[in-house]
Copies of this chain bind each other. A is one copy, B any other.
Amino acid sequence: MSNPGDLSALAALIAEGSVDPAHVVAVIGKTEGNGGVNDFTCGYFTLALMTLLGRALGLAPEECARRIPCVLSGGTEGVLSPHYLVFCREPAGLAGDEGGVGDGKALAIGVAFSPVTPAQVVGRAGHVLMVAGAVRAAMADAGIDDPADVHFVQVKAPCVTTARAEAAVRAGHSVVTADANKSMAFARAAGAFGVALALGELDEAGLDERDLLSDFSIQSDRASISSGVEVDCNEVIVLGNSRAWSGDLRVAHRPMADALDLPAVRDVLADLGIAADPQVVGGDVGRIAGVLVKCEPDRRGLIRGNRHTMLDDTDINAQRHVRGALGGLVAGVMGDTRIFVSGGAEHQGPDGGGVITVIARGKGELA
């Protein structure tokens, strides 16, 4: 990608027949904006992507956007390189007769869309349940029964805008907050709770919406949630390993205890049979197909006892700071700068830390 509107690499793969546009089920990418409210690189990329796929599929760009979830994170701070992952599902993929790697499991992908989430439901228990339902549907779509086989759940959740809030209030409802930014945090929290519920990390009986953004001991190690004004329902992408799928790709994940959790990076690679001593080398670099990190500046202002300055910086947004630091750390282990790092990790992995997920081609034994 030479810029956020540059889809020439995908266009070339389609032109040469390597990618069949009808098989594209989801796209996850990093663009070089600021990752904030005024980051328009995501919209630019999406317009260019959906125009490209729409032309190939004979669909209007808007129709494409309703069928193919596209999750983007703005901000390639530090060494990070703009890039995108295109998830394709070939028909043979569900036949399962070729077998996967080692234990016979291979990367499985499922997507689902929840019903529309009204403004008065955003960031509340009803939102949690809607996300949980969509996660279960995406698991079914992926052919995964056992929640233990799920390693990554990306949710793009709607938020409350000023206009939506006013409409809801006029209709006699209340909203959790009328502030767009705060509602995004609540929506991310509801998304994480929904994932935890669907994966059995949280018991439905124990669900209390007052815990959202409050009890940070409740979390899912496999949730990666974003929230934005551009969606009105919850878009869900589930990645896991399944015997019903074939191919040589596998996925693994590890929680990160804090922003310095280098051992978690090493361990998630070990789960996939890849050594990092301390860095991935040689042919193993090429085995790594995707690295997805979710993280956050510690809200208590300290990392292992020492003050960090991310939260008090008026010049650089805190999420930009933390993406740059985690990007540097993870890229150093991978020996590659094409790392997806996203902030806003409330209830996604340990408080003050986050989650790392890696997709890799299989080779030899798995841990």
Contacts and interface: CB of A to CB of B under 8 A. Distances in A.
B260 A312 contact: no
A280 to B, nearest CB: 10
Interface string A311-342: 01111110011101111110111011110000
Nearest to A338: B306
A82 interface: yes
Nearest to A276: B278
A48 interface: yes
A65 to B, nearest CB: 13
A81 interface: yes
A76 interface: yes
A303 B76 CA distance: 13
B337 A34 contact: no
A47 interface: yes
B81 A314 contact: no
Contacts of A306: 81, 83, 336-338
15 contacts: A2-B307, A3-B43, A4-B40, A32-B309, A44-B47, A76-B308, A77-B321, A79-B325, A80-B309, A260-B332, A262-B278, A262-B333, A303-B331, A325-B325, A326-B328
A210 interface: no
A149 interface: no
Contacts of A338: 306
Given A4-B44, A47-B51, 7 more contacts: A37-B314, A38-B313, A78-B322, A81-B308, A324-B325, A325-B327, A332-B332
Given A278-B278, A328-B326, A81 B317 contact: no
Interface string A19-36: 000000000000011111
Copies of this polypeptide in the complex: 4
A262 B79 CA distance: 13
Given A279-B263, A326-B328, A328-B328, A5 B47 contact: yes
A165 B308 CA distance: 21
Contacts of A78: 78, 259, 308, 310, 321-322, 324-325, 328
Given A276-B278, A279-B260, A312-B37, A337 B304 contact: yes
A220 interface: no
Interface in A26-70: 32-41, 43-44, 47-48, 51
A266 interface: yes
Nearest to A312: B37
A266 B325 CA distance: 18
Given A259-B328, A337-B306, A40 B79 contact: no
A40 B41 contact: yes
Contact of A307 (B82, B317, B332): B82
A279 B320 CA distance: 24
A302 to B, nearest CB: 9
A226 to B, nearest CB: 15
A163 to B, nearest CB: 11
A232 B272 CA distance: 49
A34 B266 CA distance: 32
Contact of A260 (B34, B79, B265): B79
Contacts of A37: 312-314
A63 to B, nearest CB: 15
Contacts of A3: 40, 43
